[in-house]
Each structure stands twice: as C-alpha cells, then as structure tokens.
Amino acid sequence: FLWDSSWRYLWKGFVKLESSWKEVSSEWRICLSTQSSADQLFWLAHHSKVWSAPISVSVYVPDNDYTVAVHMIAYLQNCFTQVRDLVSFHFIYPANAPPNFKYFKYNSSISNCQDPENFNRFLVNSLRDKGFQMFMTNVSYPQNLLRNIARQGCPCEFTMSADMDMLPVEDMSSDLNQFLNKSEVQSCKKCAYVVPIYEISTNVTNNPRHKAELLELKNKTLARPFHIKVYQPNQGNSDLEKWEKFNVSETLDVAYDIGHYQQDWEPVYVAKADTPSFNERFVGYGYTRISQVYEMYMSGYQWKMLTNAFLCHRGFQTTKNYSNQRKQQINNNRIKYNKFKKLMSVRYHSK
C-alpha cells in the first residue's frame, strides 16, 4: 500500500485483476473511471450489462468494509463475465482504520447471481458493527482521491469519470469508441464532451435505452435532470432544454458547443486522460467536481454537448435527507472553494 499526498490515506492499485485485462483494454479508446464505498459495489452488475469498455473502480475499504468489498468483488467476478474481464479494482483506506479481514461463512443460496443488491446489503448488515457506524459518522469520504486513483487506473486515451450509481445507456461505450476515432476529436487537445445526467423515478422498472424513451419518461414526469431540485447549477450550463429538442443523430456526434461557463457547473464529460486532476483538498460532499471543472475552464478547455449519450441515476434527489454532517461538509468545502478560485486565478494569470 502507498501513502497519498496528505499522509492520511493508503492505497493499492490493481487488486483482484484478471489476466485478460490488458488484452481486452487495448481494444478501446474509452475507459469509465468510478469510485465506490463497499455498500455500493452492486451497481457494477448493472454497468456490466450496458458498458463493454474497461472500467476502473476505486473502493473505499476502511476496517470491516474491506471484508465486504473482498466478498462482493468475488461474487461479481463469479457472476458477471464483464466484471471479471473488464473491471480493475483499487483499494483505499484511512490510516486510522486499516483493513480488517474477517473469516465469514454464509449459505450459498444467499449469494445467487440473480440479486446482487440484496447480497451486497446482506454483507453490509452482517459485517458492519456499531463501532464502524460511529467511526463513519466522524470521517469524510475522500471522493477526489478515489476519483484520481480510479482515473490513473484507466489504460485508455479517453476517460469518463462518473459516480458508481450513474448508469450509461445501452451501446454508449461502443458509440463513444467510434466517435473518439474521428480526426477532429483526436486533434483537439483540450475538448471535453459533456454527457447529460437524468434522475429516473423509482416507479420505472428499467432505465431508458435511448433518448426517445428518456424524453417519453420526462413528459410523464418520471425523469428529470440530475439535481434539478437539489442545486440547479449542477447541470444548468449544459442547457438540457436545448439538448432535449436536438434531433437524435444516426451516430454519436457533437450537438452543440457550450461557449460559456457558469459558476458551480459540474458536468460529467469524456475527455483525454490528462485533464487536471480532482483537487484532493475537497473531501466529503460539496465542490468536489465543481472545483475540477473550474480548473478546466481556467486552463482553456472547450465544452461540447454530445447528441445521444446520457447517464441515468435511480430515484429523484432532494436535500431533505441530507445529514447535518453532509451539510457541514458542504459548508466547509465552500470556504475551501473560494480560496481555491483565487489560487487558480494566480496559476492561470486570470484577472
């Protein structure tokens, strides 16, 4: 395990890696980088059904969550060929809560391959004790460290950094792979291709497979832009009303340029892997993506909206369930962000 730059966390890359990873990865220009706590790993089963390119996953494994992660990854690799062949895992933990592996037996009927979410929940309920729960209420999840390590684990020229519970639509990886081969894409060193995110109601059984289905759900108020009720600037600069009216293209392409920057914008995008890293001073919730996108803006990136691609997030988001801890983290990171913007102004010689 290696120390991070803050000397508060340790990490190890490429654990639980299949030998076919390098060979399979060489076929792709795009890699999905994502991060997860041990209780959210079941989402990889859903990713494996719609995403065919490499995936690089950073997993936060303090204390007993290490055992949860080890068992859940073994389950996923056994049940889902795509996870076994296409996913690399990287472990991160805080120095004051090192991995604790517990010998753990369970009835094989619980681990059937039909319900990964239920098995993940079973592991969490069996292995997280009260001491762990108390510990977790007093620590901040190091999102940006996890994002950086996941992105470093991608073997491809282009990456898309999305949260674990943001699911691509069918064929998005192959569509992106074809799009990224275009000469105008290859020649643009500082282009970022924005992918819209939509919340899908829990009353919907299956995520939309394409844009027409998404718009049909939105017309029935069963889908809406991500965080539209939490923090409108999240995707405000993407102009999703314009995107929704834009005709579906036969192949994935640029719908329109986003020629301006709006404060507190935090899109998910596809870009070359050498984009500015996620600043690791931001831990917990709030301004973790915003700060990285702001640095991209300051360093001169161009933003382009893609035609057909989008991500789905299960459930409508509100702030009513935000804990006091989360609200405090957002306030703390807001203060850090105001200082960060001044540093970026100095770095990029902006007035």
**Residue 159 in domain:** no
Shared domain for 227 and 321, answered yes or no, is yes
In a domain, 151, yes or no: no
Whether 341 is in a domain gets the answer yes
Q: Residue 327 is part of which domain span? A: 165-347
pLDDT computed for residue 247 by the predictor: 87
Does 156 map to a domain? no
- pTM here? 0.95
> 76 and 31 in one domain?
yes
pLDDT at 350: 57
Per-residue pLDDT tens, the chain, 351 aa: give them.
899 999 999 999 999 777 677 788 889 999 999 999 999 999 999 999 999 999 999 999 999 999 999 999 999 999 999 999 999 999 999 999 999 998 888 887 888 899 999 999 999 999 998 888 888 888 889 999 999 999 999 999 999 999 999 999 999 999 999 999 999 999 999 999 999 999 999 999 999 999 999 999 999 999 999 999 998 888 899 999 999 999 888 899 999 999 999 999 999 999 999 999 999 999 999 999 999 999 999 999 999 999 999 999 999 998 888 888 999 999 999 999 999 999 999 999 854
Q: Which is nearest to 120 in space by CA: 30, 53, 59?
A: 59
- On whether both 23 and 100 belong to a single domain, the answer is yes
d(CA 173, CA 30) in angstroms, rounded, equals 7
191/276 same-domain check = yes
Q: Give the full edge-to-edge strand order of the sheet including 223-225.
A: 166-168, 311-314, 197-200, 223-225
Is residue 236 a part of any domain in this protein? yes
Place of tokens 């995936």: 55
Two tokens at 337? 């962000």
Residues 332 and 194 in one domain: yes
Shared domain for 335 and 255, answered yes or no, is: yes
Number of domains comprising the chain = 2
Residue 160 lies in a domain: no
